[in-house]
Amino acid sequence: MPRTLLTGGRIVDPFSKRDAPGDLLLDGDRIAAVTEAGEGGEADVTVDCTGLLVVPGLVDPHVHLREPPPSPSGTEAEVPEDLAETVATGSAAAVAGGFTTVCAMPNTRPPIDTPEAVAAILERGREAGRARVLVAGCLTRGRDGREPADLAGMRDAGAVAFTDDGSDVADDAVFEACLAEAARLHLPVLCHCEDARLADRGVLHEGPLATMLGLPGIPRDAEDLAVRRACLAAERTGCRVHIMHVSTEGAVDQVRQAKARGAPVTAEATPHHLALIADDLASRDTAFKVNPPLRTGHDAEAVLAGVRDGTIDCLASDHAPHTASAKARPLAEAPFGMVGLESALAVYIDTFIRTPMLEWIGLVDRLTVGPGRALGLAPPTLAAGAAADVTVIDPAAHWTVDPERFASRARNCPFAGREVVGRAVRTIVAGRTVFEAEAR
C-alpha cells in the first residue's frame, strides 16, 4: 500500500489535544507521523488538504443495517430484494458521511442473538470493504426480554456491546442479570430507554399536536423513568451503561446526576432530536416519525446543553432505513425511524459550529473519542502508530441534502431539501481511501 501524505490541512485531534495546521503521513494501515505543515516528507501519493479539516475517522455507535444473519437452523437467510438496507449499502453510506466505524444494532429478523449471527455480520462487514462494521449482540434471547442471551459466546465471536435496541427489557430482574453478566465480560450495555407501559403504542410526542391529530402520544415519563432505572442499575452492577438517543430534559438531568454520583454511564444524542421538534410532524410526513419521538423545543435545548457541557458524551445517527412502501403508510401505521449517516455531519456542523455552541475540537471529540469510549474502543486519534482511519472535512462546502443521491438504499430522511454547509470529502479506512466526494 502506498505511503500517503495529507498536506496543508487543519489537523483536529481531540485525543492528542491538537488543533493546528499540519501534515499527516500514512504508511500502510497505520499513521506514520503528524508534523508541522510542509514537513511531512516524501510520499507516493500526496493529497492537498488546504482549507480542509483532517480529523480521526468518525465513529457512529448506533446504526441499523437491517441485513439479517443466517437463520437459527444454520441455513443462510434469504435477503429480500426490497430490504431497506444491507451491510454493504449501509457501510457505503457510512463512509460517504465520513464515518469510518459503525456499530450495527441487532434488531434484525432473525435477531443477532447468537455467536454465529455476530460472526456472520462481522464477516459481511469485512466483505463490504468500506467502514469498519462492529456488532452489538442482543441482550436477551430473541429480544423478547425474558432471559439473557449467550453474552459470553457473542463476546467471544466479536460483539463489542449488547442491546435490545428498539425495546427495553421490562423485567427488572432480567435486566440486572444481563447487566451483571455484561459487567463480568467487561462490555457495555446500550439502553433504549422506554417504559412500554407508559409509551402504550404511542405514535408521537404526547402534547397538543398528538391531541390535534387524534393519535396516542408518548409521554416524557416513558423515557425519563427508564433512564433513571438504567443509571441506578449501572451503579448497582458496575456495568458500563450507554443511554441511547436522549430526547428529553428529564433524561439529560438523570444522566447528569448519575455521572455526578460516579456511575459508569455514557449517553448519546442524535441529529433529529437536536435540530427538529414535535411540530415538524404537523404535516403527517412519516419521515419525521421516530422513536423516541421528536420532542418540544424546550427538550431540544436541554439536549443541546447536555452535549455542550459534556453530560452527553457522543453523537450518533440512529440510522434507521425503511422502504418507501413502509413509510408510505398512514402516520399511525408507518414504522419509526429515519436515515442519518449521510446527513448527520452537516446537521451537526449547522447545529454546533455555525451557532457557535462548540469549537471544532469539541464537535470532533463527540464524534470520535466519545463514541469510542462508550463502545470500549481504543481512542480514535491521529497520533503516530494509530490506525490510519481519517476523515477529511470541507467546512465550507455548500450542498443540498438529496436522498436520491444517497449510497443508502433508503430515502426516509427528514432533512431532504435542506441547504447545508460542510461535509466529508474523503474517508480513509486502514490507509485506503474508501470514499471521495464528487465535485458539486
The neighbour count for residue 379, using CB atoms within 10 Å, is 16
DSSP code of residue 349: I
What are the distances in angstroms from CA 99 to CA 24, 252, 257, 302, 411?
A: 19, 26, 31, 26, 19
C-alpha to C-alpha distance for 194 and 212, rounded to whole angstroms: 24
Q: Quickly list DSSP for 30-64.
A: EEEEEESTT-----SEEEE-TT-EEEEPEEEEEE-
CB under 8 A, 24+ apart: contacts of 353-358:
353/395, 353/422, 354/421, 357/304, 357/307, 357/308, 358/307, 358/308
- Three-class DSSP category at 17: coil
**SS3 labels along 93-156:** HHHHCCEEEEEECCCCCCCCCCHHHHHHHHHHHHHHCCCEEEEEECCEHHHCCCCECCHHHHHH
- Give yes or no: 318 in active site: yes
Q: Cis omega before residue 264 (within 30°)? A: no
C-alpha to C-alpha distance for 334 and 328, rounded to whole angstroms: 7
Options 318, 350, 365, 394, the catalytic residue: 318
DSSP code of residue 350: I
State the catalytic residues: 318
